[in-house]
Structure 1
Amino acid sequence: MENKILGIHHITAIAGDAKRNFNFYTKVLGLRFIKRTVNFDDPQTYHFYFGDEQGNPGSILTFFPWGSAVRQGRRGAGMATEIGYSVPEGSFDFWIKRFEENNVIYNKPAERFGEKYLTFLDPDGLKLEFIIPKTPDNRKPYETAEVKADAATKGFYNTTLTLNNIQATAKVLTEIFGYKLVAQEGNRYRYATDAIDTANVIDLVELPTEQHGLGANGTVHHIAFRVKDDATQMAFRQKIVDMGLQITPQIDRNYFHSLYFREPGGVLFEIATDNPGFTVDEPLEELGKNLKLPAQYEAHRKEIEAHLARLD
């Protein structure tokens, strides 16, 4: 892998009830629960990570489940408004039946850029899509007793950003991140990187009069782009500074190292490293089974555990 942005690393969203969020993504969608930890800035709130078996970059959807006190968000301009997962050809009948059995709100399948997609909402109103890619996705899916490989998600396909004007955001994607405009349908512009074959698509939807979104329950908090290591990350940090944008210092998130900046269209972007990975504090077979705390909160484990909702 070269010193490039390697598509999407993870996507982080906001949820309400923790147990409802956990049940939907592990039981209904069949994702693996790969890390049970807390918000590093608010240790009385969970931070959940869902992904494939190993928690590979490009498969990781994370949540801050802030409970009943969090207000309902609203999709709009200046935010990521859709999260797309790659699923196998012929899987839509399975998913539609499963959605109906679990009272999931969904739309009839449609087609975009020559690819079939199925839109649905999670229990908090987060908008998701299952997409059957034109190019075969050879990533190994995570299977459960109810969701087998012939239907299971492979990881992310894309995410969609809604903007009043796409120009400045597109400049970040193309001039810093190495993406290229590969297709357009109406006001939807598709950008992709050839640095990797999967989780490598960003769609920009331009809506000049769209009201700005409200970041809260049921909305995406940020999009994290992937780099292989710290040296590559810091090289990209300099490029962002050179473009005149404000960006944080490197922050240690235990499982990856992060930089954050808000791109000109208003969406919060992160650049996250592959290292050190999710097995840094527990073995692969134990992922997600135990509450893992950053070192600064370990002395307060008992009171933190007492505050957090039970998931079983």
Structure 2
Amino acid sequence: MSISTSGLHHVTAIGGDPNRNVDFYLRTLGLRLVKTTVNFDDNGTYHLYYGDSSGKPGTLMTFFPWPDAPKGRIGTGQASTTAFSVPEASIGWWKQHLEETGVEVSRIRNSDNEDTLTFRDPDGLVLSLVAHPQGDPREPWDTALVPAQHAIRGLHSVTLSVTREDETAAMLTDDLGLRFLHQDGNRLRFEAGDGGAGALVDVLVTPNAPRGLTAAGTVHHVAWRVPDEQTQVSWREELVDKGVNVTSIMDRQYFRSIYFREPGGTLLEVATDTGGFDIDEPLLELGRALKLPPWLEPRREQIEAMLPVLDLPKENNPEVVS
């Protein structure tokens, strides 16, 4: 493959109650809601984007929260764990902070000498906070509840659960341009671009595990970065030429996307770095108002009537006077 990704762009999951989702990711994890919009394929649900102060690629976790969504099952054919990067000295602070909010936490140190906390969000989604030993220079979102010295820097890695690794590993290296780093038991690690936090994926091989069921508490898809639309067009053509079943390029308002599945079953996306979340509202006001793309704006009244009222904590826009 002549084109390679530089790392993770975002991870999208399915949630339940949107207000519970907002409260956890803003107040407990200290992320910023950088865009409140809707699922462009199902306008009756929100699409909520969380990240750093501006929602830069590589910091984003997004959700489709359906209030009455059935419970999913985490298993093979999915991204089974989403990990965020935090400062190495902050793991103790995070353990105390999470436990004080009623979150059950387990702590390990993995083969890469990364101190890791693993826990679940209110819908059962498996998350980790990882203290990457090489550090992470990305600037965090700073709030009174999660101060900058401890705050999440962005995505660290994702874990893809598969029943066999050979075809998945081949797609990661041959079609996405990742490099194989090492294997630790039934876990293989790959890295993209310059490596490090935000550019890692683990492949967990569990031949006898049940197949995942995509619903509340599970990841819907994992998105990888591409610098611009021209490169994305070339990349799509190369994937099609190799026989990969790829969607057409889709306008997601804040970036452009293509989608395809890796052989183990996980839905992957390639999303452009170009675009950004301040194209339709000021940086200081990100996430406050429901934003719709031009083709849905004529249906705003109908769409708003279908959506539950979202109670956005003041921590999301501390410099905006109401």
Q: Shorter-chain-normalised TM-score: which range?
A: over 0.9
2:317 counterpart residue number? none
Asked whether the 8 Å contact 1:113–1:183 carries over to 2, the reply is: no
* Distance (Å, rounded) in 2 between the aligned partners of 1:115 and 1:92: 10
SS in 2 for 1:261: strand
* Distance (Å, rounded) in 2 between the aligned partners of 1:85 and 1:101: 20
Asked whether the 8 Å contact 1:73–1:218 carries over to 2, the reply is: yes
SS in 1 for 2:110: strand
1:214 counterpart residue number? 213
Query: 1:120-167: per-residue Cα shift (whole Å, max 9, x none)?
Result: 100000000000112121111111011112210000110000000111
* Distance (Å, rounded) in 2 between the aligned partners of 1:108 and 1:126: 17
Query: 1:263-303: per-residue Cα shift (whole Å, max 9, x none)?
Result: 11101000000121111111211111110011222122122
SS in 1 for 2:87: coil
1:156 counterpart residue number? 155
Asked whether the 8 Å contact 1:5–1:195 carries over to 2, the reply is: no
Query: 1:69-117: per-residue Cα shift (whole Å, max 9, x none)?
Result: x110111111000001110012122212221221112213433322111
How do residues 16-165 of structure 1 correspond to structure 2 at under 5 angstroms?
16-68=16-68, 70-165=69-164
Q: 1:266 to 1:93 in 2, by over 3 A?
A: same
Of 13-22 and 169-178, deviating more is 169-178
Q: 1:130 to 1:148 in 2, by over 3 A?
A: same
Of 77-86 and 291-300, deviating more is 291-300
2:169 counterpart residue number? 170
* Distance (Å, rounded) in 1 between the aligned partners of 2:66 and 2:233: 32
Asked whether the 8 Å contact 2:47–2:62 carries over to 1, the reply is: yes
TM-score, length basis structure 1: 0.96
Please, which runs of 5 or more residues in structure 2 have no aligned partner?
312-322
Asked whether the 8 Å contact 1:4–1:195 carries over to 2, the reply is: no
SS in 1 for 2:217: coil
Asked whether the 8 Å contact 2:91–2:115 carries over to 1, the reply is: no
Q: 1:196 to 1:282 in 2, by over 3 A?
A: farther
The one-letter code of the counterpart of 1:201 is L
* Distance (Å, rounded) in 2 between the aligned partners of 1:288 and 1:24: 15
* Distance (Å, rounded) in 2 between the aligned partners of 1:258 and 1:32: 23
Query: 1:171-215: per-residue Cα shift (whole Å, max 9, x none)?
Result: 111112111111211000000023465410010011111111000
SS in 1 for 2:146: coil
The one-letter code of the counterpart of 2:254 is Y
Q: Percent identity?
A: 45
SS in 2 for 1:22: helix
1:189 counterpart residue number? 188
* Distance (Å, rounded) in 1 between the aligned partners of 2:169 and 2:214: 22
2:318 counterpart residue number? none
Please, which runs of 5 or more residues in structure 1 have no aligned partner?
none
Q: 1:196 to 1:231 in 2, by over 3 A?
A: farther
SS in 2 for 1:260: strand
Of 188-197 and 12-21, deviating more is 188-197
* Distance (Å, rounded) in 2 between the aligned partners of 1:37 and 1:257: 16
2:282 counterpart residue number? 283
Asked whether the 8 Å contact 1:3–1:228 carries over to 2, the reply is: no
SS in 2 for 1:289: coil
TM-score, length basis structure 2: 0.93
